[in-house]
Structure 1
Amino acid sequence: MAEMGSKGVTAGKIASNVQKKLTRAQEKVLQKLGKADETKDEQFEQCVQNFNKQLTEGTRLQKDLRTYLASVKAMHEASKKLNECLQEVYEPDWPGRDEANKIAENNDLLWMDYHQKLVDQALLTMDTYLGQFPDIKSRIAKRGRKLVDYDSARHHYESLQTAKKKDEAKIAKPVSLLEKAAPQWCQGKLQAHLVAQTNLLRNQAEEELIKAQKVFEEMNVDLQEELPSLWNSRVGFYVNTFQSIAGLEENFHKEMSKLNQNLNDVLVGLEKQHGSNTFTVKAQPSDNAPAKGNKSPSPPDGSPAATPEIRVNHEPEPAGGATPGATLPKSPSQLRKGPPVPPPPKHTPSKEVKQEQILSLFEDTFVPEISVTTPSQSSLPAVVVETFPATVNGTVEGGSGAGRLDLPPGFMFKVQAQHDYTATDTDELQLKAGDVVLVIPFQNPEEQDEGWLMGVKESDWNQHKELEKCRGVFPENFTERVP
């Protein structure tokens, strides 16, 4: 019997819930069609909009905070592996090994402490802050349903009130066949029954209206107080959260800075003991710089780069005991990349000093042979070679072309392109195989890089006679010297 009773209660409750859903759905349809008015509260609707905005912002903040913590965890792991690498390469007999290991341990502990404090003082607070939103959100939805119930009960009561007036008119003037056929004494009883029935329905509708209004107003009053308070609390929450994060990060970096300073002191001590083996970092040219790196030109014939340079015995020795061929270092912006290797291999002829030339050094018409640094000598420092122009038949030969009007100022010698070369910069010459180039010196000798020459194509010079517009640099190993 008890089971049957409980089943009956459950079935009745389900039926009541279904009836409520149907009534709400009908009421919403009537409101959308404009056949029933809807209770509006603009102030509450604004509170709901603020609530949804606050929930969206808090959810985003929680997501970003979790991402930040994941990044801290990743940095911790990376720092730990880096310190483990230092411990492995730090040999036992080096000074400061124990201090370096201790610093690595403190570094690991500092990362762990920083992560845990972020969880305790920021993430957990964030979770607690967002934990109150689901309950309020469900209450807002329930309040909306109770508002529909209230409107439905109100409309039902109003319809009964309208029907009451019609029934009173009917009672005053009977029109039904039953009333007309009934005896006089029976008509009074029928009228009394109709009045009683109408009053009962009206009383039930009134009770339902009062009950629905009470439930709605209780929920509405509570939310009207909570939502503005929750909206205003966001300011203090954001301040506390970001102050905690900023303070924790500041302390973390202070402690980490001390550890880094201690590690630096340990490494300075290691450097002092092994100072003679210090590794020197050499400046490298920037890949983005328009100039080319100071690289030795690749020998096109694959000959070894250590071929010694031939010098004639009348070259003056460098003054002051300086190393032969020593040049001032250039800044990375002045460096130029070595010329590319030409497509087919070719041998750049090197000149040999003949005995007859050495014996005729003191003759008037002697023109000394000048050694030319070939691409195979790129690994050796450039050697400063002086030329001694001689006078032959009253004309200045070699060295400088300043005395000849048909040659550019400073003309040194001619070369002929053996391969096509595509210029890669505005200060380079575009060469075709067979082009003759008049070689001239650099305006600033320090700007010359190994494997590159300055010159002007003979065709351009003969046509324009404008050195500033026609001259440019080109790779020496793409050309061959001609008489």
Structure 2
Amino acid sequence: MQNLGKADKTTDEIFEDHLLNFNTQQVNATRLHKDINNYLRCIRAMQTANKNLMDTLSEIYEKEWVGQDMLYVQAQNNEMLWADLAHKLADQVVTPLNTYQAQFPEMRKKIDKRGRKLIDFDAERHTVQQMQNNPNRNEAKFIRAKEQMENAKRTYEVLNSELHDELPALYDSRILFLVTNMQTLFAAEEVFHSETSKVYSELEAVVDKLAKEVQKGTLPRRAYNRPLPIANHSAPVIQNSSSMNSPPKGATTDNLPPGVLYKVKAAYKYQAEDVDELNFEVGEIIQVVEYEDPEEQQEEGWLMGVKESTGQKGLFPANFSRPI
């Protein structure tokens, strides 16, 4: 009836202003809560991605390379910085924000209750007004109606008075909360970026030193010991010397093509296990030649050869062949 204009309605313009501020404040708090939580999820995702990346870099960065220990140390420092940032945001930004936002549902319940009690009061007031204008009213009922109206009025006014105090106080609290919350966020970010910049500066220096060693040709080579495959030990095992200029016993050096040290015949089938190795069948002839890189001659038990049938060049295990 009030909404249709057929009955007067108790109004409170000051309360309506407080309610408008409350609604705006709640919308803003919900939006901030959503975006801060999403930001924290992204930070944790970046924390995981960064750890995986640094773990991979630490594993593939060979121990002979300059700064391998420093790379590992800085990777650990970086991981701790990400973990510290995620912890600070969760504990000092998101947790206070959860507490701040938790006030709104409770306050909304109180506002809704005040609205219901206002309707009750207006209904009792209208009943009294109607009975008061009726000359044939029942006085006992009229007295009870006035008592009910007074009770409804007191209940409404208590809630209304409390909200007149609580709503402005809550609205004013937004400023200090936002200042404190954002100061914590920005300070945590400042420390994180300041410290990570130092980490990445150290990592950049490590890579720069590696690049300089590569350019100078002073980078240490890994001593790579290729595992020797197992063959029938009745076949003679040919051991390569440091120069490979001394053919094994039984090997003929006469009438060989230029660059060929001696020839061998495959005593067993061999299936290559790496891209730089030869495949061959039993009986195939292989020309033994010098290593292109003398460093590779450290691989004991392996020879560099060229298959006569295909001209393919590669490493092969000496104990899979016999000299001819």
Post-superposition shift, 1:84?
1.8
1:160 & 1:264 partners in 2: Cα distance? 89
Post-superposition shift, 1:63?
0.7
Say if 1:41 and 1:93 are closer, same or farther in 2 by CA, change over 3 A.
same
Corresponding residue of 2:168: 228
Post-superposition shift, 1:59?
0.3
Residue ranges of structure 1 left out of the alignment (5+ in a row): 1-29, 168-196, 279-483
Give a deviation string over 1:207-246, Cα, whole Å, max 9, x none: 1011000000000000000101111111111111111111
Question: Between Structure 1 and Structure 2, whose CA radius of gyration is higher?
Answer: 1
TM-score by length of 2: 0.65
Corresponding residue of 1:99: 70
2:127 & 2:60 partners in 1: Cα distance? 87
Counterparts in 2 of 1:125-164, with a 5 A limit? Answer: 125-163=96-134
Post-superposition shift, 1:271?
3.2
Instruction: Please say which of residues 197-206 and 52-61 is displaced more in the overlay.
Output: 197-206
2:106 & 2:188 partners in 1: Cα distance? 32
2:5 aligned with 1:65: no
Q: State the one-letter code of the partner of 1:205.
A: A
1:34 & 1:250 partners in 2: Cα distance? 59
Give SS of 1:37's match. Answer: coil
Corresponding residue of 1:239: 179
Say if 1:277 and 1:68 are closer, same or farther in 2 by CA, change over 3 A.
farther
Corresponding residue of 1:117: 88
Post-superposition shift, 1:277?
5.2
2:178 aligned with 1:207: no
Corresponding residue of 1:459: none
Counterparts in 2 of 1:286-435, with a 5 A limit? Answer: none
Give SS of 1:33's match. Answer: coil
The CA RMSD measured in Å over matched residues stands at: 1.6
2:14 & 2:126 partners in 1: Cα distance? 24
Corresponding residue of 1:261: 201
Give SS of 1:206's match. Answer: helix
Structure of higher RCO (CA pairs closer than 8 Å, 6+ residues apart): 2
Post-superposition shift, 1:275?
2.9
Q: State the one-letter code of the partner of 1:39.
A: T
- What percent of counterpart residues are identical? 40
Give SS of 1:31's match. Answer: coil
Q: State the one-letter code of the partner of 1:116.
A: H
1:246 & 1:277 partners in 2: Cα distance? 46
Corresponding residue of 1:88: 59
Corresponding residue of 1:457: none
Corresponding residue of 1:366: none
**Count of aligned pairs between the two proteins:** 218
Corresponding residue of 1:47: 18
Give a deviation string over 1:161-183, Cα, whole Å, max 9, x none: 112xx23xxxxxxxxxxxxxxxx
2:60 & 2:110 partners in 1: Cα distance? 63
1:270 & 1:108 partners in 2: Cα distance? 23
TM-score by length of 1: 0.44
Q: State the one-letter code of the partner of 2:174.
A: R
